[in-house]
Amino acid sequence: MMANAGFTIWFTGLSGAGKSTLSEIIEQRLRARGRNVEVLDGDVVRTHLSKGLGFSKEDRDTNIKRIAFVCGLLSRNGVVCISAAISPYREAREWARQEIGNFVEIYVKCPIDVCRQRDVKGLYKLVDEGKVKNFTGVDDPYEEPENPELVIETDKETIEESISRIFARLEELGYLESETVVGRA
């Protein structure tokens, strides 16, 4: 189908679910396959592209639209884009899907108590101390995807199992050639 076309992998899920970890590994493996890859991590985007935005619904939607715009530009030019942003609202994710076209939504599902235990950035602790408000999954909603291309449950499978499932799904959807085909080329 389109095994060398650009496309976007859109990871969505709570803070601490594993979006960035999965993105980094997938980026490395796609590069090893000779693909051009860009990762738009939510934290990095907020520092550079969306500086000054807060965490109101409108600001979060604006942030997602900016990420989707960049993903769309890159994807249509043959780049594999990986978005690793919480993107808590269904409507904004659907907008991104329509805007980008070649779009694979992967829900990185993980119970909030496990995300709290992982809390590498210390954000849940800040929420508990009252220093952070409107935190997704705590005092601001996270709307689970209704029809993602794949659900990865990072509390129930190893990183390697998750990565294998993601690559299998991308091959199934026609975005990547299977590694056996790539190996023979």
Catalytic one of 83, 87, 162, 164: 87
Quick one: tokens of 149? 């291309």
CA distance 14 to 47: 19
Identify whether the C-beta of residue 8 lies closer than 8 Å to the C-beta of residue 148.
no
Tell me, yes or no, if 87 is annotated catalytic.
yes
Torsions phi, psi for 147 (to 5 deg): -140, 60
Residue 135 has, within 13 A of its CA and on its CB side, a CA count of 19
CA distance 36 to 44: 19
Helices (H), 106-153: 112-118, 123-128
Residue 169 neighbours by CB distance under 10 Å: 17
Residues whose CB falls within 8 Å of the CB of residue 85, separated by 6 or more in sequence, listed in order: 11, 12, 19, 40, 41, 42, 45, 63, 64, 67
**Residues carrying an active site annotation:** 87
